[in-house]
Structures are given as structure tokens and as C-alpha cells.
Chain A
Amino acid sequence: MESRVKGLLESWSPVFRIIILAMICVLSVLIRVFSVIRFESIIHEFDPWFNFRTTKYLTERGVYAFWNWFDAESWFPLGRAVGGTIYPGIMLTAGLIHSSLHTLGFPVDIRNVCVFLAPGFAALTSLAGYFLTKEVTGRSEAGLYAALFVGIVPSYISRSVAGSYDNEGVAIFALVFTFYLYIKSVNTGSLLWSAAASLSFFYMVAAWGGYAFIINIIPIFVVGSVLIGKFTTNLYVSYCSFYILGSLLAMQIPFVGTQVVTSSEHLASHAVFVFLQIYVLGDWIKERAGEAKFKFLIKLLVTSAVSLVVVASLYMTLSGKMKWSGRSMSLLDPTYAKKFIPIIASVSEHQPTTWSSFFFDLHFLTVFAPVGLYFCLIEHNPGKLFVAGYGILAVYFACVMVRLLLVLAPAVCILSAIGLSETLHRFTRHIKNYKEWAVYLSSKPADKKPKPEYGYPLELALIVIGLVGFMSIYYINHCVWVAAEAYSSPTVIMASKGYNGERRIIDDYREAYYWLRMNTAQDARIMSWWDYGYQITGFSNRTVMVDNNTWNNTHIATMGMIFGSNEEVAAQNLRKIDANYVLVIFGGLSYYSGDDINKFLWMIRIAAGVFPQIKEEDYLNRGQYRIDSGMTETMKNSLMYRLCYYRFGEVQGHNQGSGFDVVRHAEIGEKNIKLRQFREVFTSEHWIVRIYKVLPEENRDMIKPRSTYTSKNKEMKEAGLTKINLSQN
């Protein structure tokens, strides 16, 4: 009876597995569509808008036009060669899906394809996680756990909610899938899997700059395996073929091109390839020459090489030929970047991670992962060693930069899955033997049988399983909450909750962009800070000066200089660069803290690097950044201040005086701003977006009273030589 049930269950287990996997896939899609339900099907944030615009171009004009596209609408007047300066993976994927859906007869809008691309790929990532874990452990329940964890881990959700149409959304799938195929090729030693891995790597290169992680971690794994004496022919075959094919394929992406040979990011892969060849050669020599002679040779070679390197590096340092670059210095001294490269330190994505970010983005996985690490190292095989190495390296990188948590997330998920499934495996065995236990416990002390083989106390085993279940449920609860509340805001539309829970939607951005689209000339040039460049070109279809692709620092600094200088100088410069409108973001009325006044100091800092007339000290009053009556004269006269607070003095605040800025908690210092060179043309409902037109040059600016003339006039007047009506005028 019992064996029949067991047999039946075993024969049905593949079906269960497929059903569970399908449910996990559905879950990982559904958890990401909160933003579509709460708001609408819309592209989020900044970078996705550029990706969306290029994808639209791709679907309208075709692949070749996309490849050769010179975009004249951004970086006016320089323009940007789009085809050669992007990772085209995500656009091509969306374009392919769009065209195949159309051939099949589903007339889906390209916007919807783009919005739902990332959730779709999240489902694929959880499948890839399943396969990788199954390949590593050989157990499918570990794979199922991994699929569940990967599908809903918050750090991955943050980059792949519906509408977040960005490179990372597809790249994480490519990352995990490449690792799966590579492990498969190491385990089988088959060239076919190796080739598949390099193709997947090719897709990753096409999709995201983070491919450098793969091309470094695989060589590190190979070297590590060789050093701890786990060299196998399989490893040799898989790495060599992967390296050669992968490098050649990576060169096909125009944006990467010859960087494969020149950049230091690929250096490790070249070095390991050479090292493997030398290692194999050494093996061969050892076989021919014998152990003793070979050892002597190795000692000789190593000592001479080490002393040569030491002497050479000492000589080169002393003679000044080898300089320690900023990058290598920052490895020795993490504060280097803060001291000397303030721009790097300023970007919030590049901040180092605190423990709470780890906990928020990974939750209980941080507790489970070391368990997996333990099992990976104790009962190791090549795959488990790979996963362990990946995890440790990724933890280090994530600790240096917040955005690299994304790379860590799959590793932690897989490690946790290994740890949890191992725990469950051990403790469910005790429950399986419940019958023996029941017999043992119910029998009288006199005729006690020997204790059952798996001797863990039953109630304790149950508690352990319950505990693991409770922690998993708590983790899922956290993930769903995070997906619903923290990571589903499109940032283009903002929502806030009132006291009674009613939602207030702030839709100023779209209002303003739509106004630009309908009320300005087709070829109007809009000047704004670079953050809004992609959105203006995407929403309004107008030309911008700078955008989020920050490739030209001088151009950005020019914008900073214009915002920092006084009205006359700014207007002259704006006319020189041929701008028609100026757009500023102002949150002082509606509690929107991410506005241009708060970003203004960074504009000044960036401008100061190029234009010596801009000095940060001039904008600070005794080191403090102020907008109230204590501000400096330069700050008061700057274009940014005048455009943001124009007419703001008329606004009567709630419980406060007029012109009260709620973000800075201060009453503004200059309430009576008059603009001579600009005219306010649009201000959105909550004053978040304000647009000004640059007026054409006035005639009377050309005639300036010359000092010689006035002094002469004065002399004449004193001598009584001028006519009365003239002097009266």
C-alpha cells in the first residue's frame, strides 16, 4: 500500500514540478504589474524613456536605419550617433517580439511590449535559476526553491517592474543563463554547451555593460579550481572554447568593439587563457622530464620571475615611469574617490551599501545564504564551488556599490535555495520514518525495540520544518509588500496618500511635456538640466541640449554655468547655443524634494570644473546653502533662483507667510523677481514644471551709454552749452 502511494507520487513528480514552476513564473510576472494596476501601462523613470524611443524608431524604420541612426534631437548642436553608443540588446529583443506578434496577427502596441518585457524576462530568469541550481546540486527541489527566490527577490524587482524598460531587466536573465550553460559545459566537457554559453554571453554583452562581471568571474573560477588542484580536461575545454568564442562575439557589438583587447576589464580573461596553456604545457613537460627535474625548473622560474617583477616595478616607480592611477589607488584606499573625484561620490547609485540596504533588498536570504555557502564548500563539486565563488565576489562588489546588489541577488537566491533544500531534505527524512517512531514510542518499556535509524526527535523535526516554512512565508510577504509599496512608482507620475487613504495623483510632468509637444515649434530647442533630457525627447519629441547619456562633460558644464550666471549673461549664452525654452523643476510648493534647487549645488560644482568664473563659495553663505534672506548676492542673481522663484512671492502659504518654500522650510529672500530676458510661458498645476521662453535680444541693449559721451555731456551741461530740452530728456 505504502510503496504504491510512493510509486504513484514519484511517477507524478515531474508533473508537479512543471506545475509549480509554471506557478512560480506566473507569480514572478504578477508581482511586477502592481504599477500597471495602480497607475497605467507607462514607461517609468528616465533611462527607459530613451530605450523606448529607440525601440519605437527601430520598429518604424527597421534594423539598418536603427543601426545607422544619428540622433539630432539630443545634445544639440552636437547630436549623437545612437547605433554605436548603446547596448542594443533590449531594443532588438522588444523589436523582435513586436514583429513576431504582428506576424502572428496580434496587433500589440510597441509600448505594451516594452512595458511588459521586464516581467516576462523575470519569469525566464526564475526558470534559468531553476536550471542552474538543478545543475549544481542535482536536486530539483533546490531548483524550485531557487526559482521562487529569484522570481520575487526585491533587489531584482526594483529593476524589473512593469514599465521599467531598462537593460538590467533582460541582462539578469542573460547572466544567470550564461552561468547555467557554462556550468553545464564544465560538467559535461561538451563543446556544444560551451558554444551555447558563449552565445548567451553574446546576448549579455549586447544587453548590459555588466557583462564585465561574467568575463571576470569565470576566469577567477578557473584559476581558483586549478590552484586548489581541481584541474580537469573538461575545465580546459570549456574555458578555452568559451573564451575564444565569447571574445570574438563580444567584438561584434559596436559599443564594445576593440575594448575586448584594450580595456583592463578583459585583462583577466586573456591572462587566464595564457595561464591555462602554460599549465598544460607544464604538465606535459613534467610527464617527459620527471618529477625532480621539473620541481627544480619550477623553483628556478618562479624565483627569477618574482625577483624580476620586484626589481622592475621598483625601478619604474622610482624613475616615475609607472604612475599609480586613481583607480588602483582607490583599491588601496577607499577614501581616494571621495577626496579627489567628487562627481563619482555624488551619484546615489554609486554609494556604498549599508546593512539595511542588504536587509531590505534580500531580507531573510541573508540568513539562508551562509548555510548554502557551507554546503557548497563542504560537499563540493565544480558547480557548487562556482556558485560559492560567485556569491563571495558579488557580496564584496555589492558592499562597494548599491546598484551591484542586483548582481548579488541571484547568487544569494541560489545559495539560500541550496541551504534550505538541504535542511528540509535532512529533516523530512525523519518524518518519513514516522511509523518506526510511532511503534517505538507506543511500545512498552519492557519490549522496546532499538531506536529508529534517523533518530531526530519527531517534535523537534516538525518545529524545524515549521520554522523554515514560517521564514519562507515571511520572506514572500516582505517581497510582495516591497513590490507593491516601494518599487512600483513610475516617478513620472507621483502619488501620495491622504489621511483617509485616498490617493492624490500628481501628474505635472506629463502635463508640461504635453504642453511642450502641442505648443512649441517642431524644431524648438529646450534647455534643462540633464536629468530630464530623455523624458523631454521621449514625451514631447523636442530637441534637448543635454540628456542622461552624460558623455560630454563640457556641454553639461555649460548648462550648469548658464543656470549659475546672472540673467543677462545666461540669456546671451542661451542665444549663442540657440535655445528657445528653459525648463526648470521646482518642488517648493508641493513637497517635491528632488527638484532643481536641491540639485543646484551639483550643477555649480560640475560647472566650476570647466568655467573658472563659477565658484562654489560664491553661492554659499559661510558654508551654508540658503535661499532665504541670508543668501549671497550671486545666488540671488543666478538664473536658476530667478526662474524657480519667479512670482513665488505672490503665493500665500498655508499657515505661513507668502513665498514659503516647504522643501527648504524657509521664506524666500527675494520675493519681487522681475525677468527681463525671459517670459514665463507655462507653469504646471503644482508648479513642479516651469517653462520660460528666451526672449529675442532687445534693440536698446546694443546702445550703451559711453563714458566719454556722458562725461562730455556733463561738461557741456556745466558749461551751459547743452540745450534745455535735451538735458531734460
Chain B
Amino acid sequence: MVDSSSIDVLQPVLILLPMHDFIEIPLVKKFKFLKAFEAEEGRDQFLEKHAEIIKVILCTGFTPVNAETISKLPRLECVIAVSTGVNLIDLDACRERSVRVTNAGTAYSEDTADYGVGLLMDVCRRISAADSFVRQGLWSANRDCPYFGSSLGGKRVGMIGLGNIGASIAKKVASFGCEMSYTTRSQKETVPYKYYPTVLELASNNDVLVVCCALTKETTHIVNRDVMLALGKEGVVINIGRGPLIDEKELVKCLLNGEIKGAGMDVFENEPEVPKEFYGMDNVVLSPHSAPLTPESLENVVELSIANLNNVFAKRPLLSVVV
């Protein structure tokens, strides 16, 4: 048992796995980070030792928070995720225990959306491929750039997911003269775009698919071979959501066989591993999960995390509640 008189003035926050520097550095000034991953005695003992004082877990999008861990923390009130995605948190277990879960809300939305639009433009207009062509000195040798793009105007773009990020992408892409449509769990009455009840129907009626929905059991591999075939040989897929939303092995095959024309990905099934077949493809754009990462977004998340941590300890209403 921890002697309460030895607790620092700073309120304790449980950190299960290493936290990003850009979150940790500002937050350790205001909170006491209890780092389970550094415990010499092992995680289980560590959790037991601090069980009476842990009210809150602060985690990244890559930190599993499972039922077992939750069960070891009788005082746990809230899991604060610094990511948008909460697919590694056992939300059912949290619900059962009345443990709240918050995420980054809209902190990253605009920047992630902008990046998604950038990826889409890059794939359609072959920007990265052409930039490489110039940097390798091939332009002066060849004069004719082989990387011909495809006009955005008039393209039919289908959004899989239309939350904060999806809606922002859709608004921006619409300004290029694209015809927007979407699929979500249920139709949204106020949205001016055409709704398709399934991803397959969406793919059959579009030239570009933008994947930006939450990753759950139901949405794992929501973009599968059938969907890609329905999208067709001129089709482009952009993934700004989570790697497992797309069947990556099938994506590689479809690209190799010309079943779809190109892809832009900021996320992969087993980051940071990337299928080696992508490295040689000039019709894909690869990005190391950096869409949300801008100084402004991170400031937003730090602010939001501090606010919610303070809200927990002061028993005030939480922001960006998922559960």
C-alpha cells in the first residue's frame, strides 16, 4: 500500500506503455506519470502497488487497455486516449465498470483531413512520383515525364465514414469539382451527398474511395477484394483511418495485377512494417502515420488531455467522450 503522505502534490496518472515525447514533456510538469512499463517488479505487481490511487489511464492509440488491466484497477474512473482511434481499448469492459473513455475528439481532425486531401491529390496527380523523377535527375535526361495524372474534376469520390475527419475531407475535395458520396452506419439527413448503404455499392459507383472510419470488429477489412474489384481498374484508394480497415494482402495483389490504379496510405496493418511490394510501385504514396502530426494538432491534444485530466480530478464533465 502506498503511504498517502508520500504522494507528490501532482495527481497520479497511469501510463502503460511509452507516451509520445510531445505529450509527455508538457504533461509531466503537471501530473505524476506512473510508468508501468518501467516497473522492475513487472506490470502486475506495479498495478497492484498503485491500485488504490489510480483513477486515470493516459494512453496512446497503440496502447492496449484490456479487461484484465481494468479489473486490476478498482478506482479507475477514466481512460484518456491521446489518439482519435480507440480500437485497442476494451470499450465493453469500460462500459461494464462505468469507466469513461475519452479520445482526441477534433484535435487532429483538420490536419488529418488536409493530409488526406494531399494524399488523394498526390496519387491522382502523381506528385511524389514526379518529384522523385526530378530529384533523380531524370527530367533533364528525358524531358518527358512519364507520370501522367488524372484530372480531379468530375471524379466520383466515395467516403467510407463521415465523422469530423471525413466531413472535412469531403468539403475540401468537393471544391475540386468532385462528386461526393458516402457510406456510414446510418444515413445522415443533413448531408448533401449521395448515401450508399454498403461499401460494395459505394465502390461500384465511385472512382476514388477514402477510408476514414473507426476501426472496430465490424469494420476490419471493410475494404476487401470484392470492394476493390468493384472499384475497378481506374480506381484509387486512400486510407487515412487505420491499416486493418483494408485487407492489405489483397490490396498488394490488386495493385500488382492492375485491378485498381493506385493507392495512398498513411496507415498499415502492422506499422511500422510496410509490404515490401509497395516500395517498387510508382502508383502508390506511402506515409508513416503522420497525418495528424503537426505542431498545432499536438498543441490541441496536449490542451485537451490536460483539461480532461483536470476534469477527472476535479470531478467535472469530460470532453470528447467516447464511452
A, B co-complexed: no
